[in-house]
Structure 1
């Protein structure tokens, strides 16, 4: 089970990452581009999810494209999901209370790599 402190620690360990409030909730960004964020479910989200709606913290994370998002949701729907608001948008929602730290680290790092400038991302990958 992951927490917001885990998200914060993992995200801020990535090069040139910062944290700011966006719409009153934390968002982590690299060079001004958001890659993961706190995404509480709204009334419209809960209505769209119906019985599949669950309580708990929800992380939004950038993904490469719709195919990656759909693959994550299909592979582990207890952890990954989406809502109509994100239709056509390269982001997936993650139930923090159901994801392990290694998988969370991978999700956050992959999201960071998508938004980081190419040279910064390559330097990070070269240093791993």
Structure 2
């Protein structure tokens, strides 16, 4: 993902996802919950909600893309740098964030968790 505009374009292809705000900053929202947002500590990254247990693996396997600060320790979110070669992986993580917040009916219509 090269910038927030690209994140929004991919996120808004998911059913019910809309641009919104979180803590007064642009965000992607679904069912009144944030999937991703621009509340990262710099303009070179965004915040992405991930499932428990995924964050450490992401940071360990691709620290050029995924990172965290002390502020986000203990929370199921990871910071994602723009401009890395991980666009497909990031898109999959956005789809997972959607699926994790979807209703049972929405999950059945979508299929297995990405």
TM-score strictly above 0.5: yes
For normalisation by structure 2, the TM-score amounts to: 0.86
Using the alignment, how far apart are the partners of 1:103 and 1:90 within structure 2? Answer: 17
Structure 1: which 4+ aligned runs deviate by more than 3 Å? none
Please report how far the alpha carbon of residue 7 of structure 1 lies from its aligned counterpart in structure 2 after TM superposition. 0.5
Question: Is contact 1:63-1:111 (8 Å) kept?
Answer: yes
If asked which structure has higher relative contact order (CA below 8 Å, sep 6+), I would say 1
Please report how far the alpha carbon of residue 2 of structure 1 lies from its aligned counterpart in structure 2 after TM superposition. 2.1
Deviates more, 1:99-108 or 1:26-35: 99-108
Question: Is contact 1:34-1:115 (8 Å) kept?
Answer: no
Q: How many residues align?
A: 113
For normalisation by structure 1, the TM-score amounts to: 0.78
Counterpart in 2 of 1:49? none
Rg larger in structure: 1
Using the alignment, how far apart are the partners of 1:122 and 1:94 within structure 2? Answer: 29
Q: What residue ranges of structure 2 are gaps of 5+ in the alignment? A: none
Counterpart in 2 of 1:85? 71
